[in-house]
Amino acid sequence: MFGGISDPRLVLVTGAGSGIGRATALRFAKHGATVLVSDIDEATAKQTAALIIERGGQAYATRLDVTDDTAWADYAVEVLDRHGVPDVLVNNAGIVVIGGFLDQSKRAWDHQMSVNLDGVINGCRAFAPLMADARRGQIVNVASVMAFSPSPLAPSYNVAKAGVRMFSECLRGELAPYRVGVSVVCPGAVATNIGKGEITSDVGLPPDRVAGLQRGISELIVTLGPALGFGPDIIARGIVRAVRYNLAVLPVRPEAWAMFAAARLSPGLYRLALAQADPARVAALARFAARVIPDRVIRAFEA
């Protein structure tokens, strides 16, 4: 197997308006790459591009809905015309929809698949042929530790991320003769605002209360995360490493490696342990949080 790309000059990152995507865009820019910043929220994409430019780098922001394959095709034509073939494509955009299978509507399930799995496939369909023709490139698809960690708490998320992992490994074999690498990065705990995108869960609370609690917890994680060692830049460093060495599967953070190893070495015991994390226990925890977290805190995050 050939090596990766140590000096990418043109990098495209989806979901780059915040979190892992923004950290990844900033890190590649720091190493001298021109970064094509895309996000469904154009304002945040422009903010990321502005940060790069303020620090002396080059960046271009674009609104991109990763679920829209036509938008991807148009974007590929635009990128090829204005910049050439990207050295690196990072398919990072994602959402989290939580709740057991019996609690989730078909719409919620399909939405998760559309963003987290089809969004990755759409990106590869748009740019992999260009990279193959150029005989150079690296694709990094961001999955999750949940790609190899079955859980009843968010099955649609698990299925989507497991699909990203398997798709990436299949594509890696197909593109290897063209000297195009494919990596899948599987982060563990990370402080991002991905959970703000959408949340569904039947925990016996009013929907607005659930949403407020979720936003409050998400904001707390984002605030404390870097100090506790799980800020998004840790994942961004892993993505850069995957590109440099053409790594196939890269868990990031100790708990991700531990879960990856446990799933491979003792899958039966691992499934038994995960079965204890049933939705009823999570519902009880949510109701407890609703009692102990003051209303003023929830209202502050709902503002």
Task: Based on the residue annotation, tell me whether 178 is a catalytic residue of this protein.
Answer: no
Tell me the C-alpha distance between 99 and 136, whole Å.
Answer: 41
3-state secondary structure 217-236: HHHHHHHHHHHHCCCHHHHH
For residue 45 the two structure tokens come to: 């994409």
The active-site residue, picked from 60, 157, 245, 270, is 157
CB 31, CB 240: distance < 8 Å:
yes
Burial of 39 (0-12, 13-18, 19+ CB in 10 A): buried
Tell me the C-alpha distance between 201 and 162, whole Å.
Answer: 21
Kindly report the backbone phi and psi dihedral angles of residue 179, in degrees, each rounded to the nearest multiple of 5, phi listed first.
60, 35
Tell me the C-alpha distance between 181 and 159, whole Å.
Answer: 24
H helix intervals, the chain? 19-30, 42-54, 69-82, 106-113, 119-134, 155-175, 207-228, 232-245, 254-265, 267-274, 279-292, 295-302
User: Do you know the residue count of the chain?
Assistant: 303
Kindly report the backbone phi and psi dihedral angles of residue 90, in degrees, each rounded to the nearest multiple of 5, phi listed first.
-110, 105
By annotation, the residues acting in catalysis are: 157
